[in-house]
Amino acid sequence: MTSTQPPTPPARPRPSPDEQSGPYWAGLREGRVPIQACTACGRRRFPPTPGCPYCADPGIRWEEAAGTGTVYSFITVHRAFDPAFADDVPYDIATIDLDGGGRMVGRVTGPTRIGARVFPEFVDQGDWSELRFRAEEEA
């Protein structure tokens, strides 16, 4: 007989890499920021998808993004959607316009504001790495 007891504290959700997202998660583990680009129109896209959301072409090319960029928009999470994040609130989730093209979503640390410059941070979550962004202090 097996019993499953809820972990304490609650387990955080974790990624489930698949054919599309596997290269992304593997890259984060190595401190890289892989991003899909379309072989037909060249536009970068995130999250990884089997086809281009802009031109519908199925061609995929992986590019290395610097992970630097600019905050396009953000929200501050005041109420955790999952009890596993209750100790983290408040925190910011932003849409980042990446240098070199493409837009990603991720947690931002530091003084988040629209237009802030951000840099990648790789947070070790045990057997996977989370990409976060650190906002640059205003001069």
CA–CA gap between residue 63 and residue 74 (Å, rounded): 25
> Around 114, how many Cα atoms within 13 Å sit in the side-chain half-sphere?
4
Residue with smaller CB distance to Zn ion, 37 or 118: 37
CB-based contact 67:30 (threshold 8 Å): no
The one segment of 8-16, 45-53, 72-80, 117-125 that binds Zn ion by CB under 5 A: 45-53
CA–CA gap between residue 126 and residue 11 (Å, rounded): 12
Q: Which two tokens stand for residue 83?
A: 């009890």
The one segment of 34-42, 82-90, 101-109, 112-120 that binds Zn ion by CB under 5 A: 34-42
CA–CA gap between residue 106 and residue 57 (Å, rounded): 26
Does position 52 bind Zn ion by CB under 5 A? yes
The one segment of 35-43, 76-84, 106-114, 127-135 that binds Zn ion by CB under 5 A: 35-43
Does position 54 bind Zn ion by CB under 5 A? yes
Q: Which two tokens stand for residue 40?
A: 């037909």
Residue of the chain from 38, 65, 104, 118 that contacts Zn ion (CB under 5 A): 38
Residue 51 CB, shortest distance to Zn ion, in Å, is 8
Task: Give me the amino acid identity at 59.
Answer: G
User: Mask of contacts with Zn ion, 81-110, x by CB under 5 A?
Assistant: ------------------------------
Residue 75 CB, shortest distance to Zn ion, in Å, is 28
CB-based contact 118:108 (threshold 8 Å): yes
Does position 28 bind Zn ion by CB under 5 A? no
Sheet holding 60-65, edge to edge: 44-45, 33-38, 60-65
Q: Contact positions toward Zn ion, by CB under 5 A?
A: 38, 40-41, 52, 54-55, 57
